[in-house]
Amino acid sequence: MPAAAPTRIPDVRFQKIGGRTLLIRRNRAFEIDEVGVRIWQLLDGQRPLEEVIDSLAREFDAPREVLACDCAEFLDRLRAEELVQ
């Protein structure tokens, strides 16, 4: 069985304000960095997490193992904030 593809919650707003990038939902804001922005863009509900990690490794020329850990931690935080499912 293929791995589930993480999906953005539909009512989350993506907004850039004064050099900061925020995810906003229910009047709460969550700031993300450049890598977080790219992860957010890739979470389309179609790509499994492994494919997201592969894309990041190519784009940022970073070790896949490091990105896998970082991506998992980031997704855990997004889930805790109810920004992805």
Res 1: pLDDT: 42
For residue 54, being part of any structural domain is answered with yes
Calpha distance 39→51 (Å, rounded): 11
What type of residue sits at position 49? L
Rounded-to-5 percentages of helix, strand, coil across the chain? 45, 25, 30
For residue 39, being part of any structural domain is answered with yes
Q: Which structure tokens are listed for 71?
A: 């991506």
Q: How far is CA 68 from the centre of its chain?
A: 12
Residues 31-70: tens digit of each pLDDT = 999 999 999 999 999 999 999 999 999 999 999 999 999 9
For residue 32, being part of any structural domain is answered with yes
The CATH number of the domain where 19 resides is what?
Answer: 1.10.10.1150
For residue 69, being part of any structural domain is answered with yes
Classify 32 as helix, strand or coil: strand
**Is pLDDT at 2 greater than 70 in this prediction?**
no
Query: Could you tell me the pTM of the whole model?
Result: 0.90
Q: How many domains does the chain have?
A: 1
Calpha distance 41→52 (Å, rounded): 10
**What residue numbers bound the domain in which 69 lies?**
13-80
